[in-house]
Structure 1
């Protein structure tokens, strides 16, 4: 049997981390078993489903690398199929027309609540003769759920789960406006698409017995179910925006690598020994439903930041540069006027935790700065700074190979020895002169990437600035 899983989001909002983790687990299970992964858009809620949400879901799936083998399928394009099956159920007496008005249903629920009963449909029209009603009288279609016995399933994460059929009322499968309902469409889709394993959030557990009864009524194979626990905030409460429950694409905007987000999400409820960092190949090799925890997981932004920093250091710089390009464009930094992004990644990745940060602190490699960083200038521009820069400049002009980092380093380090001052009193004014900032990679690397002409021009400009402001306290 070929394993086939699916991810079936409702496009009523963006794809959040909980949905992305569900998609990831479904994707990994299919890949681990050399099966297929299906993307299905469950857009039967026409009022709340939007095209921007659909676009965001597909963009998120592509960005995270969760490629699908089939789809995306859309439920709204399959209404003819759903209605065909509903008509067959009516003919077989497995479904019926319900003429109950909203007013009657409200009265029934109020009475049930007064009696302390669970609100549910009372089966009023279940055995009624439809010919009593006029052809133009509005009605919905309900599925005839078994009234006795039990329905159970072996959840691959939680073990055996069982429900009394008497607790389940007759589900509406087609509304009065003619549109089929979610719980019915899901069954037909999974049947038609040959889905063997349904991996989804624990909020769907109560839908499962209803869906199983529909599968059985249709004579369709019942898939294997696995319900994943929810993700909580690090304070134990429901995940919200203040914890990081934002759109998956917001993580791209905030400077995370997709590989890092995927690695972080897979560990939110699944593990393989004590290993923290996994390649995609390792995730596929090791993944199993048995490895998923029953317990809720806590989202921790600091941990995600750590994972991201690990990936920035260890992924091939060419791969990091691919993602960095988006941030440079987003911050309107023209990378054609400076070092190659792969070289920039190598220089900056040890000190940056996100790509957004890397772009922000690397602007001086590509364009002129307009001021010196105030705190650093106040601390490091002193009376002898102009002399230190002049001596450093003279030595730097004698460096014949600007790509020779050791020669660039020696050029200014020897000045500190000659002037008999600490290296910081020479190196820091030089850093401010070349970058405008108090922090940068090692100066040899920085000057190499900034380039000879640009470095020399900036040092000369800073010497002039220091001399012009020699009598006053230097400011930015």
Structure 2
């Protein structure tokens, strides 16, 4: 069994990230899973200099470790290209020249809350049976979309329970590669998890809907076995929105630089995970005491009192 810690170097890790990574790591150490550290650094324009190194330092500061890695997605792009070629050759992906403004103008649905996704209306969808020339993969002016079937894709989540989403109704034919043939998150995570042997995916429940899309790609690419999924509630601010800069500085590096100990941070996370009243705690003790069945199912609200406790 293998799980992965997969920070993205598009920003510094904050308390919400820490809670998910800590639970993931604890489940691994409880169940004998190996842990892979994967740096998901494909989102080039948003990647921040030094963020990868910063994430590794912070995870180590918290007391987390791993058995494999770190490995970075940008180390080798050929597996993503091969997967895209396979989809195109099977008639399951097609080129698209639509801009976001064109999709917005043609779309009948509003962006999804929090991720600003629009449902793609199928403007560039090819006619049934139309074949796409693989040479078009080198056209820098097109992106690539998955020919998404109109059907529900059910799965059972270890924490959230039975789930089912119809990606065609929610987002339509979703992107598998952007212009310049850069793999999308949906394609890259499937390719990586399959080739690296990831069997356990633990992440925030903002990605629940993505799971059905990723399962479709697993099946379209003939990959397997499919991993088991555990989606955890998010940490949000007092306004109910996902933890971000608008809620103040919740970066782990901010607290570390203020002299807050990792045990104090983990103590707060432990309370959020159902381990009783907050008190300082090591990552090792957290792993010994954590029980997924006792974790609250509702979102955690980070409030000013929590920030004060960390700094007291």
Fold match (TM-score > 0.5): yes
Map 1:245-264; keep pairs closer than 5 Å.
Answer: 245-264=249-268
Aligned CA distance change for structure 1 residues 150 and 203 (closer, same or farther; 3 Å): same
Distance 1:242 1:172 in 2: 29
Counting only pairs closer than 5 Å after superposition, residues 71-470 of structure 1 correspond to structure 2 as: 71-96=69-94, 98-102=95-99, 106-107=101-102, 109-113=104-108, 119-122=119-122, 124-127=124-127, 128-130=130-132, 138-147=141-150, 149-167=151-169, 168-219=171-222, 220-233=224-237, 239-241=243-245, 245-268=249-272, 270-272=273-275, 278-300=281-303, 302-303=305-306, 353=312
Deviation string for 1:276-329 (max 9, x for gaps)?
555544322232332222211122464566578xxxxxxxxxxxxxxxxxxxxx
Cα 1:126–1:221 change in 2 (3 A) is: farther
Q: Is 1:17–1:245's contact at 8 Å kept on the other side of the alignment?
A: no
| DSSP 3-state at the match of 2:181 | coil
User: Structure 1: how far apart are the matches of 2:309 and 2:104?
Assistant: 51
Separation in 2, partners of 1:182, 1:176: 14
TM-score by length of 2: 0.84
SS at match of 1:221: coil
Q: Size of the alignment, in residue pairs?
A: 300
Does the Cα contact within 8 Å between 1:123 and 1:170 map onto a contact in 2? no
Equivalent position to 1:41, from 39, 42, 47 = 39
Structure 2 CA distance for aligned equivalents of residues 251 and 209 of structure 1 = 36
**What secondary structure is seen at the aligned counterpart in 2 of 1:173?**
strand
Secondary structure (helix, strand or coil) at the match of 2:144 reads strand
**What RMSD in Å do the two structures reach over aligned CA positions?**
3.0
Within 2, Cα distance between the matches of 1:248 and 1:125?
44
Deviation at 1:11, TM superposition (A): 0.8
1 or 2 for the larger relative contact order (CA 8 Å, sep ≥6)?
2
Structure number with larger C-alpha Rg: 1
> Residues 166, 136 of structure 1: CA spacing in aligned structure 2 closer, same or farther, 3 A cutoff?
closer
Could you tell me how far apart the structure 2 residues matched to 1:10 and 1:90 are? Answer: 28
Partner Cα distance (2:245, 2:103) in 1: 38
Which consecutive residues of structure 1, in runs of 5 or more, have no partner in the other structure? 309-352, 354-476
Instruction: Give CA deviations for 1:428-473 in whole Å, capped at 9, x if unaligned.
Output: xxxxxxxxxxxxxxxxxxxxxxxxxxxxxxxxxxxxxxxxxxxxxx
Q: Distance in 1 between matches of 2:87 and 2:242?
A: 40
Are the structure 2 counterparts of residues 235 and 120 from structure 1 closer, same or farther at C-alpha, using a change threshold of 3 Å?
closer
Contact between 2:270 and 2:276, CA under 8 Å: does it hold in 1? no
* Separation of aligned partners in 1, 2:226 and 2:136: 38
On the 8 A contact 1:122/1:169 being kept in 2, the answer is yes
| Range moving further from structure 2, 270-279 or 169-178 | 270-279
Higher strand fraction (1 or 2): 2
Instruction: Compare the two structures and name the one with the higher helix fraction.
Output: 1
Other structure's SS at 2:44 match = coil
- Residue 70 of structure 1 and its aligned partner are, at CA, apart by 1.2
